[in-house]
Chain A
Protein backbone atom coordinates (compact mmCIF):
# COMPACT_ATOMS: atom_id res chain seq x y z
CA UNK A 1 0.00 0.00 0.00
CA UNK A 2 2.92 2.35 0.72
CA UNK A 3 4.01 2.13 -2.92
CA UNK A 4 0.52 3.23 -3.92
CA UNK A 5 0.80 6.24 -1.60
CA UNK A 6 4.21 7.03 -3.11
CA UNK A 7 2.83 6.83 -6.65
CA UNK A 8 -0.03 9.18 -5.83
CA UNK A 9 2.31 11.56 -4.05
CA UNK A 10 4.60 11.62 -7.10
CA UNK A 11 1.65 12.36 -9.36
CA UNK A 12 0.71 15.25 -7.12
CA UNK A 13 4.29 16.55 -7.00
CA UNK A 14 4.42 16.49 -10.82
CA UNK A 15 1.11 18.34 -11.10
CA UNK A 16 -0.73 15.39 -12.62
CA UNK A 17 -3.42 15.40 -9.94
CA UNK A 18 -4.78 18.16 -7.76
CA UNK A 19 -4.33 18.46 -4.04
CA UNK A 20 -8.03 17.71 -3.58
CA UNK A 21 -7.76 14.57 -5.70
CA UNK A 22 -4.72 13.43 -3.74
CA UNK A 23 -6.51 13.93 -0.46
CA UNK A 24 -9.62 12.06 -1.59
CA UNK A 25 -7.68 9.19 -3.14
CA UNK A 26 -5.48 8.65 -0.13
CA UNK A 27 -8.37 8.90 2.31
CA UNK A 28 -10.39 6.30 0.43
CA UNK A 29 -7.37 4.03 0.04
CA UNK A 30 -6.38 4.28 3.70
CA UNK A 31 -9.84 3.65 5.09
CA UNK A 32 -10.54 0.81 2.64
CA UNK A 33 -7.22 -0.85 3.40
CA UNK A 34 -8.07 -0.67 7.07
CA UNK A 35 -10.83 -3.23 6.73
CA UNK A 36 -8.61 -5.64 4.79
CA UNK A 37 -5.76 -5.29 7.26
CA UNK A 38 -7.99 -6.03 10.22
CA UNK A 39 -9.47 -9.09 8.60
CA UNK A 40 -6.12 -10.53 7.58
CA UNK A 41 -4.12 -9.86 10.70
CA UNK A 42 -5.60 -12.42 13.10
CA UNK A 43 -4.33 -15.89 13.84
CA UNK A 44 -0.56 -15.65 13.29
CA UNK A 45 1.15 -18.31 15.44
CA UNK A 46 3.52 -17.15 18.17
CA UNK A 47 6.55 -18.98 19.59
CA UNK A 48 6.28 -19.69 23.32
CA UNK A 49 8.17 -16.59 24.46
CA UNK A 50 7.31 -14.15 21.72
CA UNK A 51 5.99 -11.02 23.35
CA UNK A 52 2.78 -9.55 22.01
CA UNK A 53 2.67 -6.17 23.72
CA UNK A 54 3.66 -4.39 26.90
CA UNK A 55 1.36 -5.64 29.62
CA UNK A 56 2.25 -3.07 32.24
CA UNK A 57 4.86 -0.62 33.33
CA UNK A 58 5.61 -0.77 37.05
CA UNK A 59 6.23 2.80 38.18
CA UNK A 60 7.38 3.26 41.77
CA UNK A 61 7.39 6.65 43.49
CA UNK A 62 6.98 8.22 46.94
CA UNK A 63 3.25 9.01 46.54
CA UNK A 64 1.37 6.77 44.14
CA UNK A 65 -1.90 8.68 44.49
CA UNK A 66 -0.28 11.94 43.41
CA UNK A 67 1.39 10.28 40.43
CA UNK A 68 -1.79 8.40 39.46
CA UNK A 69 -3.79 11.61 39.49
CA UNK A 70 -1.24 13.28 37.24
CA UNK A 71 -1.23 10.43 34.69
CA UNK A 72 -5.03 10.23 34.84
CA UNK A 73 -5.26 13.94 34.13
CA UNK A 74 -2.75 14.07 31.31
CA UNK A 75 -3.74 10.85 29.51
CA UNK A 76 -7.41 10.57 30.54
CA UNK A 77 -6.86 7.21 32.21
CA UNK A 78 -9.18 5.57 34.72
CA UNK A 79 -7.81 4.23 37.98
CA UNK A 80 -8.80 0.64 38.77
CA UNK A 81 -8.03 -1.93 41.46
CA UNK A 82 -6.53 0.47 44.00
CA UNK A 83 -4.87 -1.00 47.08
CA UNK A 84 -3.03 0.68 49.94
CA UNK A 85 0.17 0.76 47.91
CA UNK A 86 -0.77 0.86 44.25
CA UNK A 87 -3.33 1.42 41.54
CA UNK A 88 -3.61 0.42 37.87
CA UNK A 89 -4.29 2.82 35.02
CA UNK A 90 -5.23 0.93 31.85
CA UNK A 91 -4.95 2.62 28.46
CA UNK A 92 -8.60 2.16 27.57
CA UNK A 93 -11.90 1.01 28.93
CA UNK A 94 -12.84 -2.43 30.13
CA UNK A 95 -13.60 -4.68 27.18
CA UNK A 96 -11.58 -2.65 24.67
CA UNK A 97 -8.63 -4.12 22.80
CA UNK A 98 -5.23 -2.45 22.74
CA UNK A 99 -4.81 -0.46 19.55
CA UNK A 100 -3.21 -2.40 16.75
CA UNK A 101 -3.88 -5.77 18.38
CA UNK A 102 -6.39 -8.27 17.07
CA UNK A 103 -5.69 -11.22 19.41
CA UNK A 104 -8.28 -11.77 22.10
CA UNK A 105 -5.85 -12.66 24.89
CA UNK A 106 -3.77 -9.49 24.92
CA UNK A 107 -5.06 -7.10 27.58
CA UNK A 108 -4.82 -3.34 27.49
CA UNK A 109 -1.46 -2.00 28.53
CA UNK A 110 -1.54 -0.48 32.00
CA UNK A 111 0.54 1.75 34.12
CA UNK A 112 0.76 0.28 37.61
CA UNK A 113 1.72 3.10 39.91
CA UNK A 114 3.14 2.04 43.24
CA UNK A 115 4.73 3.25 46.44
CA UNK A 116 6.72 0.38 47.87
CA UNK A 117 10.14 -0.17 49.35
CA UNK A 118 12.14 -1.88 46.64
CA UNK A 119 14.90 -2.63 49.12
CA UNK A 120 12.66 -4.25 51.71
CA UNK A 121 13.86 -7.63 52.93
CA UNK A 122 12.22 -10.38 50.88
CA UNK A 123 9.58 -12.56 52.49
CA UNK A 124 9.29 -16.32 52.57
CA UNK A 125 12.95 -17.01 51.95
CA UNK A 126 12.94 -15.36 48.54
CA UNK A 127 16.19 -14.00 47.16
CA UNK A 128 16.76 -10.26 47.61
CA UNK A 129 15.98 -8.05 44.67
CA UNK A 130 19.05 -7.61 42.48
CA UNK A 131 20.49 -4.16 41.92
CA UNK A 132 20.21 -3.43 38.24
CA UNK A 133 22.90 -1.89 36.05
CA UNK A 134 20.18 -0.80 33.65
CA UNK A 135 17.62 1.94 33.95
CA UNK A 136 14.46 2.89 32.14
CA UNK A 137 15.38 6.52 31.82
CA UNK A 138 12.23 7.72 30.12
CA UNK A 139 8.90 6.42 28.91
CA UNK A 140 7.24 7.27 25.63
CA UNK A 141 3.45 7.20 25.34
CA UNK A 142 1.32 7.40 22.22
CA UNK A 143 -1.62 9.77 22.24
CA UNK A 144 -4.41 10.30 19.73
CA UNK A 145 -4.36 13.23 17.31
CA UNK A 146 -0.96 14.45 18.38
CA UNK A 147 -0.08 17.89 17.15
CA UNK A 148 3.06 19.29 18.73
CA UNK A 149 2.05 22.91 18.94
CA UNK A 150 -1.46 22.19 20.16
CA UNK A 151 -0.07 19.72 22.67
CA UNK A 152 2.27 22.36 24.10
CA UNK A 153 -0.67 24.66 24.75
CA UNK A 154 -2.68 21.86 26.31
CA UNK A 155 0.16 20.74 28.56
CA UNK A 156 0.75 24.28 29.70
CA UNK A 157 -2.92 24.67 30.56
CA UNK A 158 -2.74 21.46 32.56
CA UNK A 159 0.18 22.82 34.55
CA UNK A 160 2.66 20.25 33.25
CA UNK A 161 6.25 21.24 33.86
CA UNK A 162 9.39 21.32 31.76
CA UNK A 163 7.68 20.79 28.40
CA UNK A 164 10.22 20.70 25.59
CA UNK A 165 10.53 19.54 22.01
CA UNK A 166 11.58 15.98 21.29
CA UNK A 167 12.16 16.20 17.58
CA UNK A 168 9.50 16.90 15.00
CA UNK A 169 6.96 14.43 16.30
CA UNK A 170 7.13 14.42 20.08
CA UNK A 171 7.37 16.40 23.29
CA UNK A 172 9.11 15.66 26.55
CA UNK A 173 7.92 16.76 29.97
CA UNK A 174 8.50 16.06 33.61
CA UNK A 175 5.98 14.31 35.85
CA UNK A 176 5.47 15.28 39.54
CA UNK A 177 8.42 13.14 40.62
CA UNK A 178 10.86 14.44 38.06
CA UNK A 179 10.46 11.48 35.75
CA UNK A 180 10.99 12.15 32.05
CA UNK A 181 7.83 11.47 30.02
CA UNK A 182 7.62 11.68 26.24
CA UNK A 183 4.43 11.88 24.21
CA UNK A 184 3.96 11.50 20.51
CA UNK A 185 1.56 10.35 17.87
CA UNK A 186 1.93 7.21 15.86
CA UNK A 187 4.53 8.91 13.66
CA UNK A 188 7.11 8.16 16.31
CA UNK A 189 7.76 4.44 15.97
CA UNK A 190 10.51 1.85 15.75
CA UNK A 191 11.17 2.72 12.12
CA UNK A 192 11.23 6.50 12.42
CA UNK A 193 12.89 6.82 15.82
CA UNK A 194 16.67 6.98 15.39
CA UNK A 195 16.40 6.57 11.60
Chain B
Protein backbone atom coordinates (compact mmCIF):
# COMPACT_ATOMS: atom_id res chain seq x y z
CA UNK B 1 0.00 0.00 0.00
CA UNK B 2 2.79 2.39 0.92
CA UNK B 3 4.45 1.79 -2.43
CA UNK B 4 1.19 2.50 -4.23
CA UNK B 5 0.57 5.71 -2.31
CA UNK B 6 4.15 6.76 -2.96
CA UNK B 7 3.49 6.36 -6.69
CA UNK B 8 0.26 8.36 -6.40
CA UNK B 9 2.08 11.21 -4.69
CA UNK B 10 4.71 11.15 -7.41
CA UNK B 11 2.00 11.38 -10.07
CA UNK B 12 0.38 14.23 -8.17
CA UNK B 13 3.68 16.08 -7.86
CA UNK B 14 4.40 15.72 -11.56
CA UNK B 15 0.93 16.94 -12.49
CA UNK B 16 -0.14 13.65 -14.04
CA UNK B 17 -2.81 13.30 -11.40
CA UNK B 18 -5.25 15.92 -10.19
CA UNK B 19 -6.38 16.38 -6.59
CA UNK B 20 -9.77 14.76 -7.23
CA UNK B 21 -8.29 11.78 -9.03
CA UNK B 22 -5.72 11.34 -6.28
CA UNK B 23 -8.43 11.12 -3.62
CA UNK B 24 -10.62 8.82 -5.69
CA UNK B 25 -7.78 6.45 -6.42
CA UNK B 26 -6.71 6.28 -2.84
CA UNK B 27 -10.31 5.55 -1.87
CA UNK B 28 -10.44 2.71 -4.36
CA UNK B 29 -7.13 1.32 -3.28
CA UNK B 30 -8.31 1.32 0.32
CA UNK B 31 -11.40 -0.66 -0.65
CA UNK B 32 -9.39 -3.15 -2.63
CA UNK B 33 -6.92 -3.53 0.20
CA UNK B 34 -9.85 -4.15 2.53
CA UNK B 35 -11.35 -6.76 0.26
CA UNK B 36 -8.39 -8.95 -0.27
CA UNK B 37 -5.44 -7.84 1.79
CA UNK B 38 -2.06 -7.00 0.35
CA UNK B 39 -1.09 -10.58 -0.43
CA UNK B 40 -4.24 -11.13 -2.48
CA UNK B 41 -3.53 -8.13 -4.65
CA UNK B 42 0.14 -8.54 -5.16
CA UNK B 43 1.38 -9.23 -8.63
CA UNK B 44 2.27 -12.87 -9.24
CA UNK B 45 5.82 -13.94 -8.60
CA UNK B 46 6.09 -15.47 -12.07
CA UNK B 47 5.19 -13.94 -15.40
CA UNK B 48 2.03 -12.26 -16.57
CA UNK B 49 -0.43 -10.39 -14.39
CA UNK B 50 -2.58 -11.28 -11.44
CA UNK B 51 -6.05 -10.99 -12.93
CA UNK B 52 -8.43 -9.68 -10.27
CA UNK B 53 -11.60 -9.82 -12.33
CA UNK B 54 -13.63 -8.00 -14.93
CA UNK B 55 -13.19 -4.26 -14.93
CA UNK B 56 -15.87 -3.43 -17.49
CA UNK B 57 -17.84 -4.75 -20.44
CA UNK B 58 -17.90 -2.47 -23.47
CA UNK B 59 -21.36 -2.87 -24.97
CA UNK B 60 -22.00 -1.34 -28.38
CA UNK B 61 -25.62 -0.89 -29.49
CA UNK B 62 -27.76 1.29 -31.75
CA UNK B 63 -29.20 3.39 -28.89
CA UNK B 64 -27.33 3.55 -25.60
CA UNK B 65 -30.25 5.21 -23.82
CA UNK B 66 -32.41 2.13 -24.32
CA UNK B 67 -29.69 -0.13 -22.97
CA UNK B 68 -29.03 2.27 -20.10
CA UNK B 69 -32.68 2.32 -19.11
CA UNK B 70 -33.05 -1.42 -19.43
CA UNK B 71 -30.03 -2.42 -17.36
CA UNK B 72 -30.63 0.20 -14.71
CA UNK B 73 -34.34 -0.47 -14.31
CA UNK B 74 -34.15 -4.25 -14.56
CA UNK B 75 -30.95 -5.14 -12.76
CA UNK B 76 -30.45 -2.15 -10.51
CA UNK B 77 -27.28 -0.89 -12.16
CA UNK B 78 -26.32 2.67 -11.27
CA UNK B 79 -26.00 5.20 -14.10
CA UNK B 80 -22.68 7.07 -13.93
CA UNK B 81 -21.01 9.54 -16.29
CA UNK B 82 -23.94 9.91 -18.67
CA UNK B 83 -23.28 13.25 -20.36
CA UNK B 84 -25.78 12.68 -23.13
CA UNK B 85 -22.97 12.12 -25.59
CA UNK B 86 -23.67 8.60 -26.71
CA UNK B 87 -22.40 6.64 -23.74
CA UNK B 88 -22.94 5.92 -20.09
CA UNK B 89 -21.42 3.72 -17.42
CA UNK B 90 -23.64 1.34 -15.49
CA UNK B 91 -22.06 0.41 -12.19
CA UNK B 92 -22.90 -2.56 -10.02
CA UNK B 93 -21.50 -4.72 -7.28
CA UNK B 94 -19.08 -2.97 -4.97
CA UNK B 95 -19.35 0.84 -5.27
CA UNK B 96 -17.80 2.35 -8.42
CA UNK B 97 -14.90 3.71 -6.43
CA UNK B 98 -14.44 0.51 -4.47
CA UNK B 99 -13.69 -2.03 -7.17
CA UNK B 100 -17.13 -2.66 -8.71
CA UNK B 101 -17.85 -3.83 -12.24
CA UNK B 102 -19.42 -1.62 -14.86
CA UNK B 103 -21.07 -1.93 -18.21
CA UNK B 104 -20.18 0.81 -20.70
CA UNK B 105 -23.19 1.16 -22.99
CA UNK B 106 -22.40 3.21 -26.06
CA UNK B 107 -23.54 4.10 -29.53
CA UNK B 108 -21.38 3.27 -32.54
CA UNK B 109 -18.41 5.59 -32.98
CA UNK B 110 -16.96 7.03 -36.13
CA UNK B 111 -15.05 3.84 -36.82
CA UNK B 112 -16.64 0.42 -37.15
CA UNK B 113 -15.74 -2.09 -34.42
CA UNK B 114 -12.69 -4.20 -35.12
CA UNK B 115 -13.39 -7.55 -36.65
CA UNK B 116 -12.62 -10.59 -34.56
CA UNK B 117 -12.97 -14.35 -34.83
CA UNK B 118 -14.15 -14.36 -31.23
CA UNK B 119 -17.39 -13.10 -29.75
CA UNK B 120 -18.74 -12.60 -26.26
CA UNK B 121 -22.04 -14.36 -26.86
CA UNK B 122 -23.52 -13.63 -23.44
CA UNK B 123 -22.75 -12.16 -20.07
CA UNK B 124 -23.95 -13.80 -16.87
CA UNK B 125 -24.56 -11.79 -13.71
CA UNK B 126 -24.69 -13.17 -10.18
CA UNK B 127 -27.66 -12.31 -8.03
CA UNK B 128 -26.98 -12.54 -4.34
CA UNK B 129 -29.67 -13.90 -1.99
CA UNK B 130 -31.34 -15.62 -4.93
CA UNK B 131 -34.97 -16.45 -4.31
CA UNK B 132 -36.37 -18.47 -7.21
CA UNK B 133 -39.96 -17.36 -6.74
CA UNK B 134 -39.09 -13.71 -6.32
CA UNK B 135 -36.65 -13.71 -9.23
CA UNK B 136 -39.16 -15.28 -11.60
CA UNK B 137 -41.95 -12.99 -10.38
CA UNK B 138 -39.74 -9.95 -10.82
CA UNK B 139 -38.82 -11.01 -14.34
CA UNK B 140 -42.48 -11.54 -15.18
CA UNK B 141 -43.31 -8.09 -13.86
CA UNK B 142 -40.70 -6.71 -16.25
CA UNK B 143 -42.33 -8.47 -19.17
CA UNK B 144 -40.21 -11.62 -19.30
CA UNK B 145 -42.91 -14.21 -19.26
CA UNK B 146 -40.83 -17.17 -20.35
CA UNK B 147 -37.16 -16.93 -19.42
CA UNK B 148 -35.19 -19.93 -20.59
CA UNK B 149 -32.73 -21.94 -18.53
CA UNK B 150 -33.34 -23.68 -15.23
CA UNK B 151 -33.90 -22.84 -11.60
CA UNK B 152 -30.97 -20.78 -10.41
CA UNK B 153 -29.83 -19.92 -13.94
CA UNK B 154 -32.08 -18.00 -16.31
CA UNK B 155 -31.67 -16.31 -19.69
CA UNK B 156 -33.54 -13.35 -21.13
CA UNK B 157 -32.89 -11.02 -24.06
CA UNK B 158 -32.20 -7.32 -23.64
CA UNK B 159 -33.82 -4.69 -25.94
CA UNK B 160 -31.21 -5.41 -28.62
CA UNK B 161 -31.66 -9.18 -28.41
CA UNK B 162 -28.41 -9.61 -26.56
CA UNK B 163 -28.43 -12.74 -24.42
CA UNK B 164 -28.37 -11.90 -20.71
CA UNK B 165 -28.01 -14.59 -18.09
CA UNK B 166 -28.57 -14.30 -14.36
CA UNK B 167 -27.63 -16.97 -11.90
CA UNK B 168 -26.90 -17.88 -8.35
CA UNK B 169 -23.74 -19.22 -6.76
CA UNK B 170 -24.98 -22.81 -6.78
CA UNK B 171 -25.92 -23.16 -10.43
CA UNK B 172 -23.32 -20.80 -11.87
CA UNK B 173 -19.99 -21.51 -10.25
CA UNK B 174 -16.87 -22.49 -12.18
CA UNK B 175 -15.73 -24.85 -9.46
CA UNK B 176 -18.98 -26.81 -9.62
CA UNK B 177 -18.85 -27.51 -13.34
CA UNK B 178 -19.51 -31.15 -14.04
CA UNK B 179 -20.52 -31.74 -10.42
Contact = CB atoms under 8 A, between A and B. Distances in A.
Interface of A: 1-3, 5-6, 9-10, 12, 19, 22-23, 26-27, 30-31, 33-35, 37-38, 45-62, 67, 73-77, 80-81, 83, 88-92, 94, 96-103, 105-110, 112, 114, 118, 126-127, 129-147, 151, 154, 157-158, 168, 175, 177-180, 182-184, 186-195
A141 B116 contact: no
Interface in B66-101: 67, 74-78, 80-81, 83, 87-94, 96-101
A30 B33 CA distance: 8
Contact of A143 (B50, B97, B148): B50
Contact of B80 (A6, A12, A190): A190
Bin chain B's interface residue count.
35 or more
Interface string B148-179: 10000000011011110111110011110110
B75 A141 contact: no
A177 B118 contact: yes
Nearest to B51: A75
Interface string B26-44: 1111111111100011111
A72 B113 CA distance: 26
A178 B177 contact: no
A105 B22 CA distance: 33
B44 to A, nearest CB: 5
A140 B12 contact: no
Contacts of A76: 44, 46, 48-51
B81 A60 contact: no
A27 B174 contact: no
Contacts of B87: 194
Chief secondary structure at chain B's binding surface: mixed
A76 B48 CA distance: 6
Contacts of B94: 53, 100-101
Contact of B33 (A31, A74, A134, A188): A31
Given A27-B5, A107-B169, A175-B118, A38 B35 contact: yes
Nearest first, the 4 A-B pairs at minimum CB distance are A81-B177, A75-B51, A100-B99, A34-B34
Contacts of A77: 51
Contacts of A97: 35-36
B32 A99 contact: yes
A133 B61 contact: yes
Interface in B82-135: 83, 87-94, 96-102, 104, 113-131, 134-135
Contacts of A5: 22-23, 26-27
A9 B175 CA distance: 44
7 contacts: A88-B174, A109-B53, A129-B163, A133-B161, A141-B54, A186-B52, A194-B88
Contact of A47 (B1, B76, B121): B76
A31 B1 contact: yes
Contacts of A142: 51-55, 99
